[in-house]
Amino acid sequence: MNRRIRILVVEDEEAIRTGLIDVLVFHGYDVDFAATGPEGLDKALTGKFELILLDIMLPGMDGYTICDRIRAVDRSQAIIMLTARTSDEDIVQGLKLGADDYVPKPFSIQQLVLRIEAVLRRSQAGLEQARTLSIGDIDIDTENLSGLHGSKEIAFTKREVEVLSYLARNSERPVSREELLSKVWGYARGLDLETRTVDIHIAKLRRKIEADPKTPERLITVRGAGYRLVTEG
């Protein structure tokens, strides 16, 4: 018998937490929960979960710290952050620390379930990608999520490597945000989805692979068309 997909819900508001658990159980997931930051971190690091739904505002330890601690030991764990704080700075902070996506509160159950299914689908399937990837003088080990630029080591998240791998396979043309959301994040095309996830991941990658992230020469924006990765030269 196949093990059911396990999801950890880290949320201190009881009404929201209970509602999330009920919805996820209804959709066939095996759900555990934590109501405080320290409890959530402990379960995240000791349990085996396909996905963690992580609130930002938590007693004892905030979601940013938890995400950062998880990423320090596991760069492939799927994480969706739940946030009532919707300023650009708050969203950027969560994604900079390695969250796969974010869902602003209040959220519709349908939108949340679609995002959960998309992140799980991509995490389980994995993207077709080469074992190694070279971008100019940067060599990336896609399985170990690590890169070398001379003697400098660069750590990547699983999602960052998936973005680079997809762009590398299509380096002859610009790739739109919608295509990246569909092919890398797993969202259905045409889905009415308000998210800056792609843009923020691109900004994170530029800080890792560009000599000057403000004037990118590798990961460039093609106005009106999307992003293109220059791997040669």
Q: In whole angstroms, what is the distance from residue 112 CA to residue 80 CA?
A: 10
- 143 and 114 fall within a common domain: no
Mean pLDDT score of the chain, rounded to an integer?
88
Residues 113, 14 within the same domain: yes
Q: Residue 207 maps to which CATH number? A: 1.10.10.10
Peptide bond into 216 cis (omega under 30): no
Residue finishing a domain among 79, 100, 125: 125
Alpha-carbon dihedral sign for residues 140, 146, 149, 150? negative
In whole angstroms, what is the distance from residue 202 CA to residue 211 CA? Answer: 15
Binning pLDDT at 50, 70 and 90, where does residue 1 land? very low
Same domain as 22, residue 92: yes
Q: Both 65 and 92 in a single domain?
A: yes
Q: Is residue 1 part of a domain?
A: no
Q: Which residue has the higher pLDDT, 91 or 78?
A: 78
Is residue 2 very low, low, confident or very high in pLDDT (cuts 50, 70, 90)? low
- Indicate if the pLDDT at residue 145 is higher than 60: yes
Q: What is the pLDDT of residues 88-133, one digit of tens each?
A: 677 778 777 888 888 888 888 888 898 898 888 776 655 556 788 9
Q: Looking at residue 182, what is its pLDDT? A: 86
**Residues 166-206: tens digit of each pLDDT:** 999 999 999 999 899 888 888 776 666 667 889 889 999 99
Which structural domain range is residue 195 located in? 132-229
Do 87 and 198 lie in a common domain?
no
Model confidence, pTM? 0.70
Pair (73, 161) in one structural domain = no
DSSP 100-145: SEEEESS--HHHHHHHHHHHHHHHHH-----SEEEETTEEEETTTT
